Every structure is written in C-alpha cells, then in structure tokens.
Amino acid sequence: MHFQYTEEQLMIQDVARRIAAEKIAPSAEHHDQTGEFPLENIRILGENGLMGIEVPAEYGGAGMDPISYVLAMVEVAKADAAHSTIMSVNNSLFCNGILKFGSEAQKQKYVRAIAEGKEIGAFALTEPQSGSDATAMRCKAVKQDDGSFIINGKKSWITSGPVARYIVLFAMTDASKGARGITAFMIDTSKPGFHRGKTEPKLGIRASATCEIEFTDYRVEAEDVLGQEGEGFKIAMGVLDAGRIGIASQAIGISMAAYEATLDYVKERKAFGAPIGSFQMTQAKIADMKCKLDASLLLTLRAAWAKGETEKNGGRFSTEAAVAKLTASEAAMWISHQAVQIHGGMGYSKEMPLERYFRDAKITEIYEGTSEIQRLVIARNETGLR
Ligand code: CAA
Ligand code: FAD
C-alpha cells in the first residue's frame, strides 16, 4: 500500500467534488426538509460515471478501482449523505454482485442501465422479521417445471424501493437447507406481481427513499436467476463486504463535513474574550475528531485496497470491510455529536447543517449490518469461533 493517489483516482475525486459543490450541496437542505428524491442529481452523477465507478466501460461504467469509489463517495456524502446512500446501493449493492455472478446478458441488461444513471437499482435482503439474522427470511421462490420461479413474500426497508426499476432479490428456494437454500434473482419492477409500500418517514438521509416491497405470484424466468440456485446467501454476504466499504466512505464524508465546519467555527466564535478553539477542552475534542477521522479514512482505503487485491487473487476482505465500517460509522456518530456540542445553540438549529450531519450519521451504525454485527463478523474471523 502506498499513500499517493493515482491521476485517475484524483480525476474522479475531482469530478465528484465538482458535482457535489455545484448540484448537491446547494439542494441538500431542501432535500432533507422535503424528503424529495433527488432524481435530477442522480442522473447527473450517472452521466459522469459515478453510478458505476467500478463497472467496466463495456457495461456503461467508469472502469475505475475501489479506491476511486471511496474517494468519490466521500465527496458526495460530504455534501449530502442521502445522495451517497442512493449512489452506494447502485454502485456496490446492485452492480457489484451482477458483475461478479451475472451472465453476460444480465450485465448488459441490468448493469448498464444503472451504471449510466438511466434507471435506479435496489438490493432486497431484509424482511419484517429478519434483519441481522438474514437467513431467517420467509420470502419464497418456488421452482416451476419450465425452470422459472414464482415468488411470494415481503422485503422491508428497501433503499430506493419507491423508485427502483431493477432489484437484486434474495428469496428462499429450499428452507430445509438454511443459508444454502437461498437464491438471488433479478427483478424488473414493471412486471406484474410487484408492489411498493409507502415511503418510510426517517430520522436522517431523508431524501433516500425507503419502503417495503411485496411479491404476489411474481414470475422470474430461469435466465433471471443470479448465480447458481442456493448460492444467494454467499452472493449477499460477498456483495455486503463491498457495500460496507461504501457505507464507511459515506460515514467519512459526514465526519469531514462536521469536522471542517467545526474548525471554522472554533476560530470565529468567542467566549470569555477568546476564540472557543483556544480552550483546552475544545482542543482535545478537535484532536480526537482528527484522529478518528484519519483512522477511518486509512482503514477504509485499506479495505478498498484489499478488495482490489482480492479481485485479482481470490479470497475475502470481510474483516477489512467490517473494521472500516465499524470504525468509520462510530467515528461519524461521535464526531457529528461533538460538532453539535461545539456549535452550542447553533449546533441544534436548522439554520446550520450540524444537526443534519448528526441525524444522518446514525444510520451508518445500523444499515448494511449493525455495529454489533460488524463486531460479530470481526471477532468470528479473528478467533475462528462462532
Ligand atoms: N462472503 C461469502 N460467503 C460468506 C460470507 C462472506 N462475507 N460470510 C458468510 N458466508 C457464507 C459462510 O461461509 C456460510 O457458508 P457455508 O454454508 O458454505 O459454510 C454461509 O455464508 C452462512 O454463513 P454464517 O453461518 O456465518 O451465517 P449467519 O447466519 O451466522 O449470519 C451474519 C452471518 C454475518 C450475521 C449475516 O447474517 C449478516 O451479515 N447479517 C447482517 C445483514 C445485513 O448486513 N443486512 C444488510 C441489508 S442491505 C442494507 O442494509 C442496504 C442499505 O441499508 C443501504
Ligand atoms: P435487528 O436485526 O432486529 O436488530 C435489533 C438489535 O439487535 C440491533 O441493535 C442489533 O445489532 C442487535 N442484534 C441482532 N443480532 C445480534 C447478535 N447476534 N449479537 C448482538 N446484537 C445483535 N435492507 C435491505 O435489504 N436493503 C436495503 O436497501 C436496506 N436499506 C435500509 C435503509 C434504512 C434507512 C434502514 C433503517 C434499513 C435498511 N435496510 C435495508 C435494513 C437494514 O440492513 C437492517 O435494519 C439492519 O441490518 C438491522 O436489522 P433490523 O432492523 O431487523 O434489526
């Protein structure tokens, strides 16, 4: 690992930074207040390669590496976390698994549309009764004589569910086999038997639309099975390893925004005749914020590097991804909390974005595996115990 970005990595960081400054930051408050889905901005991100950063050009993407993905996600999340949630699902949860396990026809049909930002993708694993315990899913796919499947069941908390055209869905094809009885399917939401619930009102990332989805006798043709029958859980877990790098990057973007606002404020705001940044108690907070932010970035870059190496040599990068996600999400929560505190009453006011950073940071400790699940993954991998 070396500490210099390549020209390509700096280039995509610059593209993301420019779009974030010109399009996303100016409308972030509006999107947070109204919860309006930022479709126009998502299209712009797609047109600039940011919806399929690691997708090869032949499937409509930018053909960049995992480090480029981290750098671009950080820039977008710094301007608005909700935009980066949509970007993260399209990039890592949707495109990744299809690129790795999909057929040539699936890559052409599904990856291209999402990578170019023409359609929105989603990833449906969670159900009302099964979140962390993902294998306890009840959504069922029953194989027919012609090789097609009929799907019935519900999925909950689906990011971009209200707007997605295509979804990677996980359903039980053989409950007697547990995790090995789960299969992944490509879903086209314009087909009969697919239904969307109401958009969930949320604490943060309010412009990222989330809803329950339901399948009633929805038919999937044999060519829309993703990977092999029974391979679905491994696909989900492998995809989530990559996804967790995206959420770590999102957390870093939120932390950076809160940290930079704080650095400005402690120099301007005065109390007892001195800038509040001159008080040792404030300085200690600044130092701890800086340490947590740098640790998050370095661990996330390490996870991205490990992903790149794994793609060349095989193996897993689950531990590196979980360490990055756990560290960066807990850092974002702590940093945004301290940033609100340091801003005093203004930190609590909607006139400044600090309270939004605080609300947005919380989700990074919950989705794509809670902090407890990241600890479980790390400790299991380190000890070999279950
Ligand atoms: N890669 C490949 N395969 C993996 C794997 C990985 N990272 N992790 C586990 N597996 C395999 C195991 O090897 C095992 O295979 P075998 O049967 O061949 O041995 C199989 O999967 C089952 O593994 P476990 O026994 O470890 O499974 P478990 O039931 O104990 O669950 C868990 C493990 C880590 C808790 C997992 O259920 C988990 O990650 N839960 C959290 C779910 C989650 O993150 N949901 C996110 C939803 S998407 C989302 O949230 C998106 C968004 O917000 C934007
Ligand atoms: P539970 O699993 O019920 O957990 C409740 C509490 O128990 C948590 O604190 C958890 O850490 C703890 N716990 C559970 N098991 C253990 C254990 N073994 N050891 C210690 N503690 C444990 N899912 C999708 O599939 N696709 C999406 O696009 C998606 N987007 C989301 C967007 C938002 C805004 C939200 C809120 C959720 C989204 N999710 C999505 C679901 C998300 O991944 C789950 O909420 C998350 O995995 C936790 O599951 P749960 O809510 O069922 O909590």
Catalytic residue of the set 119, 320, 365, 368: 368
Residues 199, 265: one domain? no
Nearest ligand 1 atom to alpha carbon 373: 35
- Domain count for the chain, please give it: 3
State how far the alpha carbon of 148 is from the alpha carbons of 20, 127, 166, 226, 254, in Å: 43, 23, 18, 12, 44
**307: nearest Cα among 56, 12, 66:** 66
What pLDDT is recorded for position 3?
A: 81
**Could you tell me if residue 2 is inside a domain?**
no
Where among 195, 229, 263 does a domain terminate? 229
Residues 240 and 312 in one domain: yes
Take residue 243 and report the two structure tokens written for it. 């996804």
ipTM of the complex, rounded to two decimals: 0.99
Is the shortest distance between the CB of 85 and ligand 2 below 6 Å?
no
For 311, residues 6+ apart whose C-beta sits below 8 A from its C-beta are none
Query: Does 71 fall in a domain?
Result: yes
Tokens 């959420």 belong to residue: 247
| Nearest ligand 2 atom, CA 130 | 52
Active site residue 75: no
CATH of residue 276: 1.20.140.10
- Contact present, 157 and 148 (Cβ < 8 Å): no
Cα distances (Å, whole numbers) of residue 190 to 95, 239, 384 = 19, 25, 44
Check whether residue 45 and residue 97 sit in a common domain: yes
Cα–Cα distance measured from residue 28 to residue 207, given in angstroms and rounded to the nearest whole number: 9
Please list the pLDDT of the chain residue by residue as tens digits (386 residues). Answer: 568 999 999 999 999 999 999 999 999 999 999 999 999 999 999 999 999 999 999 999 999 999 999 999 999 999 999 999 999 999 999 999 999 999 999 999 999 999 999 999 999 999 999 999 999 999 999 999 999 999 999 999 999 999 999 999 999 999 999 999 999 999 999 999 999 999 999 999 999 999 999 999 999 999 999 999 999 999 999 999 999 999 999 999 999 999 999 999 999 999 999 999 999 999 999 999 999 999 999 999 999 999 999 988 989 999 999 999 999 999 999 999 999 999 999 999 999 999 999 999 999 999 999 999 999 999 999 999 99
Q: Are residue 106 and residue 19 in the same domain, yes or no? A: yes
Give the closest residue to 199 by CA, choosing from 305, 82, 56, 74. 82
Task: Give the residue from 186, 174, 211, 163 showing the smallest Cα distance to 97.
Answer: 186
> Which of 229, 256, 287 is the C-terminal boundary of a domain?
229
pLDDT for 1:
54
Domain that holds residue 71: 7-119
Instruction: Among 86, 89, 91, 132, name the best residue to mutate to test ligand 2's pocket (greatest count of ligand atoms within 8 A of Cβ).
Output: 132
